[in-house]
Structure 1
Amino acid sequence: MRRIKRIFVAAVILLVVFAAGRTSFVQGFLNHWNVKSEATLTAEGYPESLVQLYEKNEEARQFVLDYKKNGNNEQPIDISSDVTDGKIPLFLQWDERWGYRTYGDNFLAITGCGPTALSMVYVGLTGDTSMNPYAVAQMAQEDGFYVNGSGSSWSMMTELATKLGLSAQELSLSEDSIRQELSQGHPIICIMGPGDFTTSGHFVVLTGVDSDGKITVNDSNSKKNSNKAWKIDDLMSQIRDLWVYQ
């Protein structure tokens, strides 16, 4: 019993010490791992939406930190090195070549999953490297496909794709139809609901079927999600709508 009491007292003391110095403890922990706090980024003048991106997506942290030196980058965009015949390229919406540029009411890095997905499909099918994510985003905005506060309208996935010269149609949400189209080399853009890819809505590209029967995905917001193969049931439970292209 005495031993239990001693352990309890020691635990209380540790909690008091931690509570008294929690600010310095947390800051020290962040400094140790070279992670900046939200307050620090805000104080340093980073835009609020990029601060939120830094907090939510650790893969994009270097992109956020590079904003101060590269945020005004207006260099011509060259994606030729990203393209391989017969493959759908992976473009990230927070790529520094275009992520700091504007799409709608925010950075393309924040709002640009739709144009980035359509760019991947278009470039992969045609080999035309002029339609990088920013070029598609400009077309989408000019044609009224951006909805303030929401992102890209779903109609963009057929209407703008058709304008670009692709054959695009809505696809039924079934395992057979998904597998059949992918096996024929037809990429599929999906709008995902809350789950593994997003807390709200997010466009991704289904690119193929691997040797284990799992689905390969290009997620413009995550290399990690793009480097793994997915069980089709896990994807279908999150898909809200989908479109197939050729």
Structure 2
Amino acid sequence: WYYYKNGTLVRNAWAGNYWLGADGRMATNAWVDNNRYYVGNDGAWIKDYGNKSGWQKEGSAWYYYKNGTLVRNAWAGNYWLGADGRMATSAWVDNGRYYVDGNGLWVPSYSETSKNISALNMTQYYQGDARWGGKVYGISNLANTGCVPTALAMAFSGLGQNVLPTAVADTIYNNTDEMNVSELGTSGKGAVYAIRAYGYKHAVITTKEQLISALQSGKPVFATVGRGIFAKGRLTHAIILSGYSNGKTKAMDPDSAYNTGKWYDVNTIWNQRSTDPYDTNIGGSFVAIG
């Protein structure tokens, strides 16, 4: 919905009890007008919404408001509020320093060493291996654009299935349009298709806390990263993460003998996550496999 006055689109202003944003679109389910007022699902201003205070249950999740403002990335007593304001449960939080149980309550008895877990024992594969690097899939070959199937083959080996990168690539290419068809490489949807095809569940990771929790639970994490440690000279790249030790995780790189098999700071890797729509068309660029 938009509102016009004398033929001109109204922006950044109220039309009755409805707020028009910078693009002129009527806002819904949002704080507006410099975060002073809240409009609901139908766009109408909710008069008492700004008076929210303390714990509020919305749907199945708990949130905490202070003076009408949603608290994020902070503690409310012994409960942690994540980046989206949701109370965390069964997770390591606050940069992996503390653990909260299934009810969200901090568990002081969890020791520092209990956060550490060994990395999976994976077979090292390289996308440019002479045995398969020249195999063509659509508009390119495995050596140039095969990081996703090669990374997933390593993850599957760590979970007990010894499959070659070509087998994973065949699975994606022959059953989807998500590899070297509309764009170079494999999309997030293509990666998830392969994870399911090989019998595993997946969970898209959208916060650093979720990443740490997945690593500490022993799950390998498929990660697409942007330019930085692993994606020098290319737009994005796929790697596998596993294990957790004092804020670091082990990365398996399908295209670099220098980078692979080393432990890296989780914060650094999280900050280099891909934001490319081709990688994030599943809702994020990191996926826990299990």
TM interval, shorter chain, is 0.5 to 0.7
Higher relative helix content: 1
Aligned to 2:241: 206
Q: Which sits farther off after the overlay, 112-121 or 222-231? A: 222-231
Instruction: Letter of the 2:127 partner, please give it.
Output: Q
Aligned to 2:130: 96
Instruction: Letter of the 1:146 partner, please give it.
Output: M
Which residue among 269, 272, 277 is the counterpart of 1:238?
272
Which ranges of 4 or more aligned residues in structure 1 deviate by more than 4 Å? none
Aligned to 1:19: none
Matches within 5 A, 1:188-207: 188-198=221-231, 199-207=234-242
Residue 239 of structure 1 aligns to a residue whose secondary structure is coil
Matches within 5 A, 1:128-207: 128-129=161-162, 131-144=163-176, 145-148=178-181, 149-174=183-208, 176-198=209-231, 199-207=234-242
Instruction: Letter of the 1:191 partner, please give it.
Output: T
Shift of 1:160: 2.2
Residue 227 of structure 2 aligns to a residue whose secondary structure is coil
- Give the CA RMSD over aligned residues: 1.8
Residue 166 of structure 1 aligns to a residue whose secondary structure is coil
Aligned to 1:30: none
Could you state the TM-score of these two structures normalised by the residue count of structure 1? Answer: 0.60
Contact (CA 8 Å) 1:215, 1:229: kept in 2 or not?
yes
> Within 2, Cα distance between the matches of 1:147 and 1:169?
24
> Within 1, Cα distance between the matches of 2:158 and 2:127?
16
Q: Which sits farther off after the overlay, 85-94 or 222-231? A: 85-94
Residue 152 of structure 1 aligns to a residue whose secondary structure is coil
Contact (CA 8 Å) 1:188, 1:206: kept in 2 or not?
yes
Give the number of the structure with larger relative contact order, counting CA–CA contacts within 8 Å between residues 6 or more apart.
1
Contact (CA 8 Å) 1:94, 1:109: kept in 2 or not?
yes
Q: Number of residue pairs matched?
A: 158
Shift of 1:233: 1.7
> Within 2, Cα distance between the matches of 1:112 and 1:238?
20
Instruction: Letter of the 1:188 partner, please give it.
Output: V
Instruction: Letter of the 2:226 partner, please give it.
Output: G
Matches within 5 A, 1:51-66: none
Tell me: CA distance 1:104–1:124, structure 2 relative to 1, closer, same or farther (3 Å): farther
> Within 1, Cα distance between the matches of 2:155 and 2:149?
10
Structure 1 residue runs of 5 or longer lacking an equivalent are: 1-84
> Within 2, Cα distance between the matches of 1:89 and 1:209?
19
Higher relative strand content: 2
Could you state the TM-score of these two structures normalised by the residue count of structure 2? Answer: 0.51
Shift of 1:197: 1.4
> Within 2, Cα distance between the matches of 1:99 and 1:150?
15
Instruction: Letter of the 1:169 partner, please give it.
Output: A
Structure 2 residue runs of 5 or longer lacking an equivalent are: 1-118, 275-284
Shift of 1:242: 0.5
1:189-237 superposed Cα distances (whole Å, 9 cap, x missing partner): 1111122211301111112123x43111001011111132211121111
